[in-house]
Amino acid sequence: MQEQENIGDFIRKQLDLPADTADVDLASLYDSLDTALPLRPDIVFQSGGRIYFVEIKQTRPSIDTIARMNLQRELWQKKPGRQPLQLVLAVKTINAREEMLARELDIRIVKIPWSVGTPPGREYQTSKFRISSQKSWRIVTRLIMEKSTSIRQLALKENVSYAWAHRVIGILHEQNVVKKEGGYVSISDMKNLFNGIAWERPMKNLEAMETAIDFTGSHAAAREITRALRDEKIPFAFTTYTAGGLYTSFAIRQDLVSLYLEKETIARFKENFGTQKENTVRAVIYTPDRDVFTDARERESIMITSPSQTLLDLAGLGYGARDLTIAMADRYAGL
């Protein structure tokens, strides 16, 4: 906890805010504003008639990160009378292109020294209800599958409490993702849902390594890796573009495979499949934040994540994978 407080104190000083400036409780902020905005800042400061939304990134922020922050400000400013908003991006490292874009959009950059930080692999988090959590995502994907149903049926079919299902649907309704008609609910804005997931659970945060592997085509690479890792009894599952392409029959990217591996098996994977050759396939390795292996299934001799997990992961890639994510959602009920 002390490390998180040190980050907040450091950012506060860099923004030249008074030492007694306190974090704003997000839940209280939402209640006071009666807002339906899909806000996901890590810290909120309020000082001198201005409000500060702070996004903290332990890894290099992407263009998607900056785009989400800019959207956040546009949504905030739609309602008259709100306090001026200053966006703040706190990073340990950032590419020159992203830094220039952030400054052009009036997003303040705060450079965090490597000596100040959260525990490795963990972002600064306020307590907040997450639509991307395993329990909540089951409700969302059940609603995608059913098209239109009652909250009670969602709870019964996914074996969760009615209160939990009601809260998930309530949040999505406030964010204009779900509409309610005569006791039934349905998704009204799939893109808005996926924007929220990309904001809340970006796949970049789970990326452990990207490496070249000694194959000339992604499909052949995924099949051979499946055979080899299964023989060695190493837990794994291909995801994002690899799994989404197999589920939807979209053309599979020939230059890329992506898969989950436990952290302790990554070095072994690189030793067995890595290469220094050029014009080969790239492998993006993610470390799981939940159980992604138990429900994995096989398609065309390739072990891939479940439809639910694949849809979540594709959404987490952001705008770059949006067409494939929508295609996956359209076909979800038949998977």
- pLDDT beneath 50, residues of the chain: 1-5, 31-32, 34-37, 117-127
Rg (CA), the chain: 21
Provide the pLDDT for residue 4. Answer: 41
> Which residues, 6 or more positions from 28, have their beta carbon under 8 angstroms from its beta carbon?
none
* Spatial separation of the C-alpha atoms in residues 323 and 258, rounded to whole Å: 18
> Pick from 91, 40, 57: which is nearest to 199 by CA?
40
For residue 34, what pLDDT is reported? Answer: 45
Residue-level pLDDT at 151: 93
What predicted TM-score, i.e. pTM, was given to this entire model?
A: 0.66
pLDDT in tens, 177-222: 899 998 899 999 898 899 888 888 899 989 999 999 988 889 999 9
Which residues make Cβ contacts (< 8 Å) with residue 123, sequence separation at least 6? 42, 56, 57, 58, 205
Q: pLDDT digits over 61-101, tens only?
A: 888 888 888 888 887 887 778 888 999 999 888 888 899 99
The pLDDT value given to residue 116: 55
Q: Looking at residue 22, what is its pLDDT? A: 60
Query: Taking a C-beta distance cutoff of 8 angstroms, is the pair 310, 297 a contact?
Result: no
Q: How many CB atoms lie within 10 A of CB 298?
A: 11
- The reported pLDDT for the residue numbered 306 is 97
Strand order in the sheet with 85-91: 43-47, 50-57, 85-91, 107-111
CA angle 146, 303, 199 (to 5 degrees): 55
Single-letter amino acid code for the residue at 301: S
* Orientation angle between helical segments 322-330 and 240-248, nearest 10 degrees: 40
Q: Which domains does the chain have, with CATH numbers?
A: 2-111 (3.40.1350), 134-188 (1.10.10.10), 203-334 (3.30.460)
Tally the residues of the chain. 335
